[in-house]
Structure 1
Amino acid sequence: MGKITGFIEFERVSEPHEAPLHRVKHWKEFVQSLSDDQAKVQGARCMDCGIPFCTTGCPVNNIIPDWNDLVYRQDWRAALDTLHSTNNFPEFTGRICPAPCEAACTLNINNDPVGIKSIEHAIIDHGWLNGWVQPQPPSRKTGKKVAVVGSGPAGLACAQQLARAGHAVAVFEKSDRVGGLLRYGIPDFKLSKSHIDRRLAQMEAEGVEFYPSTYVGDPAHAADGLTVRTPASLREEFDAVVLAGGSETPRDLPVPGRELQGVHFAMEFLTQQNRANAGARIPGQISAKDKHVIVIGGGDTGSDCVGTSIRQGAASVTQFELMPRPPEAEDKDLTWPYWPLKLRTSSSQEEGCDRDWAVSTVALEGADGKVQKLAATRVEWKRDPATGQMKMRELKDSGFEMKADLVLLAMGFVAPVKAVLASFEIETDARGNALADTERYATSVDKVFAAGDMRRGQSLVVWAIREGRQCARAVDEFLMGSSTLPR
């Protein structure tokens, strides 16, 4: 490495960011890139560790030590080329990935890991600033046509790879704008939509065609105003079809009072705000202004609900998690280099919310059809000696109530939209996902492939990019007999 003793000499430096008191007043990104000197120092901290566990900790297998060293040497162009060799969209992952690579960093065994995510962020920002990110149209066309259904990170990565291999690619998206979860699921303060727009422009220059407001499936399930493409028409027109939609069926809360006004799935709430930020008028928009908000679910989606509620002017925000409170720090001897269970505080939670763990909602109560309070009980988790599984039980006399004007359900997603898979007559696994392996990505229906959340279930953006890239290679091999695309 460029600085052999860098990990001894230098401390980890976090990216600069706007203070919570100021950033909650707007919807813009508030995390800034490292300066060149800061990035150089962080690159210098990368150890010559011999076995870079960070590379396997990263789902797209980024060649992290190489671009860390290149940033240390300030060779930004080569660093960008190395980063792009494994990741189509580092501006997405450099902003919203939880960085499992850092958990796997060798330096993390007994110190703070290298700031890998912040270096990735700095590299791609350099690339766009200097005009190095350019379209890469194929040198030849294959004459093959591929339809990609879904324009989230899996669909976009798959489409870009296939277009660069010379295939004619059409991407179908049921929303009015392309981007899937990136566009309407992730708040603007975490990911500005300008990052999506400039990638789409690059992809269009590479030959990808986009068809928003288009529903693929049985016309009976299509919303009004959408163009409908049936599975039969896609299979007839295209040489291959890739299903890369999201895992969009949310986990519900079957308790008394669920039907009350003011109880919503998280994505209803988040999508409306993103549409409003994009200039759309949302009649009857769900708003947290001056309300006591309870967010049920402690993951990323719940955190996004917290940050959005605070920016809308909530009177208070409380977040409940069913699982017990994690430890403050992980047992590194036990967990490294795997993703550890430990207490994490997101940027939205830093902005001001009450958090509580091991809480189970038992009822929602209200008047005149509107929710007014939430009834809950405390629970404990113990391992069943017979099965080894953790089981939950309510604690006696632990019930309590809280005022609630708006309840947001952010408890994860259980499966893709069943109607879409059913319309293709695709075999599914026990969880309702499209049944396909990670070698061929082929479904039970000829010419139809599946990748991303639709195949693996709810997951990270970085996993979606990986699956999209690997699926593209599988499709290329299916169409051409062999492929030079990377996995």
Structure 2
Amino acid sequence: MGKATGFMEYVREEEKKRDPLSRLHDWEEYAFPFSNDTLARQGARCMDCGTPFCHMGMELNGLTSGCPIHNLIPEWNDLVYRGRWKEAFERLVKTNNFPEFTGRVCPAPCEGSCTVAISDSAVAIKGIERAIIDKAFAEGWVQPRVPTKRTGKKVAVIGSGPAGLACADELNQAGHFVTVYERADRIGGLLTYGIPNMKLGKDVVERRVRLLEEEGIAFLTNTEVGKHITVDELRKRYDAVVLCIGAQKQRDLVIEGRELAGVHLAMDYLTVTTKWLLTGEKDETFIDAKHKHVIVIGGGDTGADCVATALRQQCKSVVQFGKHPSLPKERTDDNPWPQYPLVFTVDYAYEEAEAKFGSDPRQYCIQTKKIVGDENGKVKELHTIHMEKKVDEHGRIVFKEIPGTEKVWSCDIVLIAIGFEGPEPSLLQQFGVETVNKKAKAPRYKTNIEGVFVAGDARRGQSLVVWAIHEGREAARAVNDFLRKH
């Protein structure tokens, strides 16, 4: 695919980014798309692989390798190289319902398993994907696909994140009448309130939602199942129900001082910030980091988004604590290709923090011991100790405190970004759905309740947007099979 010798002739190029300091003055997306000439060169780097590992979509050693939705990557790389853009778009949407989302926020496990990446930099797959779908929208190739025939069957999808939207899209195209219930005031779930504007503009999400509406999907916002409509009513009204409620139960920090004012869960912070950007209004729940010292506990992507958000709110300083050591600059022997590469990278948020304050905000191997407040019950400092990561005599990874490394950090806001425990259990309980390890127990997306299905993070646990789309697509397949028999 592509140019036979392209991977030898051309080097990988990255998407251009706006200047880190200047982009702190707004909330717009930080990356520029590739030029057409650059895209042709990057598409040309795609090899004529005997086996294209980029779209194998599986987990190796607990990490995603290749594309979970099995995008036809070599095919649309070749078409972009040849300038056949509309055909590239047609190939892309055969497997991906929402490439405008994955082309912006996916960590690109496809690139980690790219064959070129064995000995060189991977093909710029993610940037090419985004360019294809953006061009398709600009050229008017993306048009509503209104089903010509309807089955008469009705399906309720609970939750409008990427899994719910993908499931609804597939079921609608199969001819069923689909209604999506969302308890928030806007459709999109994680896409709207969990991912900041800088990574995924909300106009991009709204554009897709409008398209799905034109195609016949009904959306009900501000409607919480179990509160505004009972589970029994829902089951009587619909032939099948799909629970795509995510893994929204945030993991909290059980620690002295957790109750102090100024200590917040990360997703609460990101959500109220996005609501303010969308409405222009601040209520009593708004969390403002302006002129404040901010500490983020948790070294993942959500923590990085908190760093970027605090910077745009003009914080006085920001530090991010991670439990693990810094990643190596190159793959280690126990992280071989085609596994997802566990290597050191500099996210957009860290570029911005370094440009603003002169250093990377990440601190490694940090254990928070307690949070201390002032006489008014507001957080004023955070106490930590350094940890050492070791392997014990049983081969288990353990973290041990290093005496003498205690430190006190002044702070005004603490944001807890240590992951998610699973779905909120109340709705699953109301449906009578069995759970295991805090996730819905649903082999092949079927729960123990006939006609009730589950997909996305509620089924597999906290994961990637691309896995959510995969789950939504596969759950729709299971629902469709069920409806054909009933």
TM-score, length-scaled by structure 2: 0.95
Amino acid paired to 1:104: S
Q: 1:332 to 1:87 in 2, by over 3 A?
A: farther
Partner of 1:107: 116
**CA shift at 1:201, angstroms?**
1.3
Q: 1:2 to 1:138 in 2, by over 3 A?
A: same
Amino acid paired to 2:253: L
Partner of 2:290: 289
1:292-326 CA deviation, whole Å, 9 max, x = no partner? 10000111100000000000000000000011221
Partner of 1:480: 484
Matched, 1:23 2:23: yes
Q: Is the partner of 1:210 in helix, strand or coil?
A: strand
134-143 vs 166-175, which moves further? 134-143
Question: 1:410 is matched with which residue: 403, 407, 417?
Answer: 417
1:171-197 CA deviation, whole Å, 9 max, x = no partner? 000000111010111111111111111
Matched, 1:380 2:381: no
Partner of 2:447: 443
**CA shift at 1:334, angstroms?**
4.2
Partner of 2:320: 319
1:17-37 CA deviation, whole Å, 9 max, x = no partner? 101011011001121111111
Partner of 1:222: none
Matched residues in 2 for 1:82 and 1:385: separation? 51
Alignment of 1:174-213 (within 5 A): 174-213=183-222
Alignment of 1:20-169 (within 5 A): 20-56=20-56, 57-169=66-178
Q: Is the partner of 1:23 in helix, strand or coil?
A: helix
Question: 2:366 is matched with which residue: 342, 359, 362?
Answer: 359
What residue ranges of structure 1 are gaps of 5+ in the alignment?
220-227, 483-487
**CA shift at 1:149, angstroms?**
0.2
Matched, 1:338 2:339: yes
Matched, 1:396 2:403: yes
Q: Is the partner of 1:351 in helix, strand or coil?
A: helix
389-398 vs 163-172, which moves further? 389-398
Q: Is the partner of 1:278 in helix, strand or coil?
A: helix
Matched residues in 1 for 2:345 and 2:455: separation? 29
Amino acid paired to 1:465: I
Matched residues in 2 for 1:238 and 1:34: separation? 45
Q: Is the partner of 2:25 in helix, strand or coil?
A: coil
Residues 335 and 342 in structure 2, CA contact (< 8 A), matched pair in contact too? no
Matched, 1:429 2:430: no
Amino acid paired to 2:413: L
What residue ranges of structure 2 are gaps of 5+ in the alignment?
57-65, 354-359
Alignment of 1:243-322 (within 5 A): 243-284=243-284, 285-322=286-323
Matched residues in 2 for 1:233 and 1:257: separation? 43
**CA shift at 1:331, angstroms?**
2.7
Matched residues in 2 for 1:40 and 1:229: separation? 52
**CA shift at 1:332, angstroms?**
6.8
Residues 2 and 45 in structure 2, CA contact (< 8 A), matched pair in contact too? no
Alignment of 1:2-21 (within 5 A): 2-21=2-21
Residues 380 and 392 in structure 1, CA contact (< 8 A), matched pair in contact too? yes
Q: Tell me the matched-pair count.
A: 469
Residues 109 and 332 in structure 1, CA contact (< 8 A), matched pair in contact too? no
**CA shift at 1:282, angstroms?**
2.2
Q: 1:36 to 1:2 in 2, by over 3 A?
A: same
Matched residues in 2 for 1:2 and 1:358: separation? 44
**CA shift at 1:423, angstroms?**
1.2
Matched residues, percent identical? 50
**CA shift at 1:481, angstroms?**
4.1
